[in-house]
Amino acid sequence: MRDLEGLFVVSLEQAVAAPYCAMRLAEAGARVVKVERPEGDFARDYDYDVEGLSAHFVWLNRGKESLRLNLKDPDDRAVIGRMLERADVFVQNLAPGAAARLGLGAAELRAKRPELIHVSISGYGEEGPRKDLKAYDLLVQAESGLSAITGGPEAPARVGVSVCDISAGMTAYQAVLEALIGRGRTGEGRTIEVSLFHAVADWMNVAYLHTRYGGKPPKRPGLRHPSIAPYGVFDCADGAILISIQNPREWRALCAEGLEAPGLADHPDYHDNVARVAHRPALEALIGAEFARWPREALAARLEAAKIAYGRLSSIEEFARHPQLRLIRVDTEKGPVELVAPGAVLRGVDRAPGPVPALGEHDAALRSEFGG
């Protein structure tokens, strides 16, 4: 029996954030009904790269049932109403205020069923002067200041995954689990509001604190650490590698075994981290000249022997062949596909993923079950 088995979740969802939250609930054993507009979640058409299916959709919707409803139709609103009479958790990421206008707001639903856990995911929250701004991931990366500290000195950059959407989905999932524990103690559900902006803003606390109290807005370091040196990327003879020197022992080991220059450890320009950061360009040039002589794998072996923290700058093709990568197999309407496995390993727990639903695959069964 999986941890959330017996839990019933209705998720009126689209795109990434709410589907991420609901996918994690399904993965833990909850029954999740994904309510889609008649034409389907628009994420189904982001691309057709996975045997004709969307990569985002395959990733985020395993283990769910798909039900198409037109919520402008009173009969279809009645169907979701009957589902919510039995639901433990309701997740929705419509525009702010839209759920309430459909009679699906937290105040109305929880007045009838105080035990319901009601989750609203939005771009900027349910209140405030910018609550109605359209919010897509890259736009929120820019608004939150994340883009200002991402990229290199020459230009800001987008984080390469939908980090604001994912952070909101993760935050919502955490809040639901917390609410379930609370409900187990009190019998009361909870009203949860999560936004892309506020979820990623929480992750921006260090940058905020440096700026607010230290007067030092972080700069865009590219593949360098803004306040530690050497900590960044260096070209090898056939690729690139990153190193991270965090303490005096590692610095001495790098000098003696990585650079074969033990006397460098006590050089006045490089003897401690403050000095190394102040003389970073010269230090990086020195390290770069030595590393460029070595093939990447030979250099990696040398660094590993010296117990120096390093990482290969991997392409996505190299990532797909990474020896540490764990994969799962998921059934789809186009046949089985392999996905990267979830990050947490739960020993002794069945985490077999459910299939990815075709559009409206469960319409007939669910309408029969809930009187539609």
Report how far residue 79's alpha carbon sits from residue 341's, in angstroms, rounded to the nearest whole number: 34
Q: Is 337 helix (H, G, I), strand (E, B) or coil?
A: strand
Report how far residue 180's alpha carbon sits from residue 13's, in angstroms, rounded to the nearest whole number: 20
Sign of the torsion angle spanned by Cα atoms 29, 34, 40, 44: negative
Q: What is the dihedral of CA 266, 268, 273, 279, to 10 degrees?
A: -130
The question of whether 165 is a catalytic residue gets the answer yes
Nearest to 92 by CA among 158, 149, 41: 41
CB-count burial class (<10 Å; 0-12, 13-18, 19+) for 41 = buried
Sheet holding 31-36, edge to edge: 64-68, 31-36, 8-12, 89-92, 117-122, 190-195
Cβ(220)–Cβ(153) below 8 Å: yes
Report how far residue 197's alpha carbon sits from residue 165's, in angstroms, rounded to the nearest whole number: 9
Could you say which of 76, 88, 137, 165 is catalytic? 165
Helix residue ranges per DSSP H, the chain: 17-27, 55-60, 74-84, 98-101, 106-112, 137-143, 163-186, 196-203, 205-214, 248-253, 273-278, 280-291, 296-305, 316-320, 363-369
Nearest to 245 by CA among 255, 236, 209, 235: 255
CB-count burial class (<10 Å; 0-12, 13-18, 19+) for 247 = exposed
Provide the annotated active-site residues.
Answer: 165
